Amino acid sequence: MVISPLRRKVLRDLRRLWAQALAIALVLAAGVATLILGNGAHDALVETRARYYADNRFADVFATVTRAPEAMLADIAAIDGVLQAEGRIVKLGLPHLPDMGEPGTVMLVSLPATGGLNQPYLRQGRLPDPQAPHEALISEGFAAAHGLRPGDGLNVLMNGRQRTLQITGIALSPEFIYAIGPGEMMPDPRRFGILWLPRSGLESAFDLRGAVSDVIVKLAPGASETRVIDALDLLLRPYGGTGATGREDQISHAFLNAEIDQIGAMAKVLPPVFLLVAAMLVNMTLTRLVTLEREQIGLLKAMGYGRRAISQHYLEFVFMIALVGIVIGCMAGAWLGAGLAQLYARFFSFPFLLFSRDPQIYATAALVTLASAGLGALRAVHSVAKLPPAVAMAPPAPPDYRHSRSGLARRLGLRQRDVMTLRHLGHWPLRTASSVLGVAMAVAILMGSLWSFGSIDHMIDVTFSRAERHDVQIVFAAASAPAALQNARALPGVLAAEPFRTVPARISHRNLSRRISISGKPPDARLSRLLAPDLRPMEPPADGLILSDALADLLQVRPGDLVLVEVLDGSGRVADVRVSGLSLGYFGLGATMELGALDRLVGGGPRISGVNLLVDPAERPAFFAAVATTPRTGFLSIADLTVSRFRATIAENIAIMVTVYVALAGIIAIGVVYNFARIALSEQGRELASLRVLGFTRSEVSGILLRELATVVALAQPVGWAIGYLLALAMAVAFSSDLYRVPFVIGPAVYAISSLVVIAAALLSALLVRRRIDRLDMIEVLKTRE
C-alpha cells in the first residue's frame, strides 16, 4: 500500500507530538465516555423498566380502600378505558426476626391469578399453592438480608395473631423496584420486605372473605387516566377509598423516574464541558503547529499542493487524534456502563438490566466528537488556507513586546522574570484565556460533585436534628382513638410521646392540584416540629393550613390564599382552607394543620394515626420486644437507623460519582496544563537554552516557564469557582423533584478541595514539562529558529 506524502507527514507529526496528542485524545475520550455512559444508563433504565413492566403486567392505576366487595370489580371493569381490573388484599405485618433487635415490617400482598396484574418475578423456588394459605413468596432483598431461603419458616404477626409462613420461593416485582417502607426515605431491605400469599391466607387472617382492600387497573391504549381515576374514586368512596393514583404517583415508579431524570440531566451537562475544552486544546495545538511549519506549508504550496489539500492534511491530523479519543472513550464508556448496570441492579430491585449498546449512541458520540475537534481546528486551518507561499516561507515576525508596559511593571515592583511571564502571557491573550478557561472547567466539574456532601449533611441536620427529633415513630395499622397515645406512653422506656394524624387529601388552587397527606400535629409539638424557611420553629395555627414551600410553589399559592381541600378518606368532605404560612421541608410535599383543626375538617371525632416517641436508650431492647407483640402497630420508623441507611446509600452513590469526577477533572487539568506548557516550551526553547548558556541554573530556567503555568492555574481558580457555583446550582435544581428537594449548600471546603485537586494535577503536568526543560539540547535548540 502506497502512503501519500501528506499522510506520511501526519503519522510523523503524531509520533513527534504523541504526548500532546494523547492529552487531547484523553479529554475527548472523557467526553465520549460520559456521553455514552450517561445516555446508555438513561436508556438502560428506560428500556429495562419498559420491558419489566410489560412482561410482568404492571398496573396503571392504584387505589386503596378500607373494605370493598369483590362485586365492585365488575363495575370498575365497565369504566370506559379500563382494560383489566383486579382486587387484592394488601396489609402490613410484623415478622419475628431473631437476628434483629428492633422490629421489622412486611407488606402482605395477595398473589395475582395467572395472567393477573403485577406478577411477581420468580428468582428461586416455586410459587405458593393457591390452596395452601400458609405458603408465601418473599422479596429477594429481605430474604438476602436475613439469610432466608425456600423451605424456611417465618413467624409473622398478622392482625394480632402470630402465624407461621412457609417460604416457597424468592421473588421480585415491578411494583417494588424501589421497595420503601411506609414513612421511610430510603429502601432498607433489612427492615422492610414483601410477602406474597395465596388470597385464602389473607382473607382468613384479616376477615376479608369476599372483599378487597386494594384495587389495581390496567388501562386500554389511549385511555384517559384522569377520567378513569375520577370514575374509580366515585365508585370506591363509599368503601373508604383514599383516592386513586396513576402510575406516576406510585412510590416505586416515582423514585425510579426521579433517578432517570437525574441521569438524563447529567448526560446533558458533562459531555459538552469536555468537548468544549477539547476544542480549545485542538485550537491551541494546531495553531502552534501551523506556526512551526510555516516554511513547510510554503514549500508544499510552491510544489503545487492547493489550499484544500493542505487544509485537509491538518484536519486529518486532528481527526486522527479524535479517532484515538473516540476509541478510548467508547471502550471506557462500555466498561463503566457495565459497572453502572451492576450498581443499578443492586440499588433497584431489577431481575435484569439491559445496558444499552445501541450503535446509534456510539455513532452520535463519534460524530459529536469529530465535530467538536473540527470546530476547534477551523481557525488554524483557515490561517493555513489563506497563507501565501512567499509569506509562509519567510520566518514569522518576532514577538513585539514594545507595548508590554514594562514601566508600569517596574512601578509595581515586579521582578524581571515576573515581567517576562506577564509579557509572554499577554502576547497571546486568546490562548491564555483558553487555557485559563480549560483549567477553570476542571475546577467547576469538581465543584459540581463535591457540593453534594454539604447539602446532604444539611438535609440530615434540618430533618433529623431540628424538625423530626423523635427516636421512634409508630404508625398504627389503622387510625385509632386518642387512648392509643396512653398505651404508647406505657411502653417500656418511653420518656415522651406525641400523637399525629395523617389524612389523604387533594389540595387544589385554581387549575392546579396535588394529592398529598395532611399531617395533624398537637399545638405544643416538640418531637416533630414545623420549621420556617429561616429554620425557626413554627406552631401550627388553631385553624388554617401550613404548606411546605415546595408544595406552595407547585400550587402557586402564598400565605393568605384559599385552597380547596378534598378529604380522600371515604367521607368526601370538601372545604376551603386558608393558607396560614409556609414551612421548610426537603422530603415530599407537606401540608400541616393543628391536630384538633384536622379532626374538625375530617369529622368523625378525634383520631390519631400514630405516635412519635422519645425512648430511653437503655430500655430500647425491652421497648422493641413490647412493640413487636402489639397488634395495633403497623410500621416502626427508627430515626438513627433511617439516618444511617440514608448516609450509607447516599455515601455509596456519591463516593462513586466523586471518584469519577476527580478522574475526569484530573484529565482536563493535565491535558490543558501539559499542552499549554509544551506550546510555551516550543515557543521559548531558544530563549531558555540561551539562558542556560549564559549561566542560569536549571531551576532558574524552568522557573520562568513554570511561573507561566502557575499564573494560568491561579487565574483559573476564581473563574472555576464562578462556573462551578452555577454548575452546582443547576445540578441541585435538576436533582429536585416532588419526592425530595436537594438544598443548595456550598461551603469553603468545596472551593478549597476542588482547587487543590486541580493544582495537584497541574503540578504533575509541570513536573513532566520540567523534565523536558532539564533535557534541553542547548546546541541543537540554538541551531533552530525555535
Q: Is the dihedral of CA 488, 489, 490, 495 positive or negative?
A: positive
683, part of any domain: yes
To which residue does cell 405516635 refer? 611
722, part of any domain: yes
Q: How far is the C-alpha of 277 from the C-alpha of 283, rounded, in Å?
A: 10
Q: Which domain holds residue 586?
A: 494-615
State which amino acid sits at residue 86. Answer: E
Query: What is the CATH classification number for the domain harbouring 600?
Result: 2.40.40
Q: How far is CA 639 from CA 228, 233, 645, in A?
A: 39, 35, 10
Considering only the C-alpha atoms of the chain, give the largest distance between any 2 of them, rounded to a whole number of Å: 102
459 and 589 co-located in one domain: no
175, part of any domain: yes
Question: Please, are residues 185 and 460 in contact by the beta-carbon 8 Å criterion?
Answer: no
146, part of any domain: yes
N residues, the chain: 786
Q: How far is the C-alpha of 677 from the C-alpha of 271, rounded, in Å?
A: 25
Give the residue from 188, 207, 226 where a domain finishes. Answer: 207
Beta-strand pair 472-480/608-615: antiparallel
509 and 440 co-located in one domain: no
436 and 562 co-located in one domain: no
Q: How far is the C-alpha of 692 from the C-alpha of 174, rounded, in Å?
A: 72
Residue 104: CB partners within 8 Å, gap ≥ 6? 94, 95, 97, 190, 191, 192, 193
464 and 499 co-located in one domain: no
Give the residue from 207, 223, 244 where a domain finishes. Answer: 207
Count structural domains, the chain. 3
What pLDDT, on a 0 to 100 scale, did the predictor assign at position 144?
A: 92
Q: How far is the C-alpha of 171 from the C-alpha of 173, rounded, in Å?
A: 7
C-alpha cell at 296: 513547510
φ, ψ for residue 435, nearest 5 deg: -65, -45
Question: Please, are residues 422 and 415 in contact by the beta-carbon 8 Å criterion?
Answer: no
C-alpha cell at 180: 420503601
Q: How far is the C-alpha of 318 from the C-alpha of 287, rounded, in Å?
A: 11
Exposure on the CB side of residue 472, measured as CA atoms within 13 A: 28
C-alpha cell at 110: 395477595
From the list 310, 432, 293, the residue with the least C-alpha distance to 786 is 293
What pLDDT, on a 0 to 100 scale, did the predictor assign at position 389?
A: 67
781, part of any domain: yes
Count of beta carbons in the 10 Å neighbourhood of residue 229: 21
What pLDDT, on a 0 to 100 scale, did the predictor assign at position 786?
A: 43
578 and 653 co-located in one domain: no
Counts of helices then strands in the chain (DSSP H, E): 22, 22
φ, ψ for residue 131, nearest 5 deg: -95, 5
Can you give the three-state secondary structure of 145-162, one letter per residue?
Answer: HHCCCCCCEEEEEECCEE
Instruction: Classify residue 128 by its DSSP letter.
Output: P
520 and 443 co-located in one domain: no
561 and 604 co-located in one domain: yes
Count of beta carbons in the 10 Å neighbourhood of residue 274: 29
690 and 725 co-located in one domain: yes
What pLDDT, on a 0 to 100 scale, did the predictor assign at position 278?
A: 75
pTM, entire model: 0.78
C-alpha cell at 25: 485524545
Question: Please, are residues 689 and 42 in contact by the beta-carbon 8 Å criterion?
Answer: no
C-alpha cell at 215: 384495587
555 and 692 co-located in one domain: no
463 and 563 co-located in one domain: no
Give the rounded distance of the alpha carbon of 336 from its chain centre: 16
State which amino acid sits at residue 488. Answer: A
650 and 785 co-located in one domain: yes
460 and 513 co-located in one domain: no
- Measure the N-to-C terminal CA separation of the chain; round to a whole number of Å: 35
From the list 268, 334, 271, 372, the residue with the least C-alpha distance to 40 is 334
Instruction: Classify residue 249 by its DSSP letter.
Output: G
Per-block mean pLDDT, blocks of 10 residues, the chain (786 long): 74 80 83 82 85 94 92 92 94 86 88 91 93 93 93 89 93 91 79 93 90 94 92 89 87 85 75 76 72 71 76 83 89 79 76 76 85 80 70 59 52 60 72 82 84 84 89 86 89 93 91 89 90 89 89 91 87 87 87 92 89 92 84 78 78 67 76 75 67 69 77 90 89 77 87 88 79 64 51
Cα 678-682-683 angle, rounded to 5 deg:
120
What pLDDT, on a 0 to 100 scale, did the predictor assign at position 219?
A: 95
630, part of any domain: no
138, part of any domain: yes
Give the residue from 207, 236, 266 where a domain finishes. Answer: 207
133, part of any domain: yes
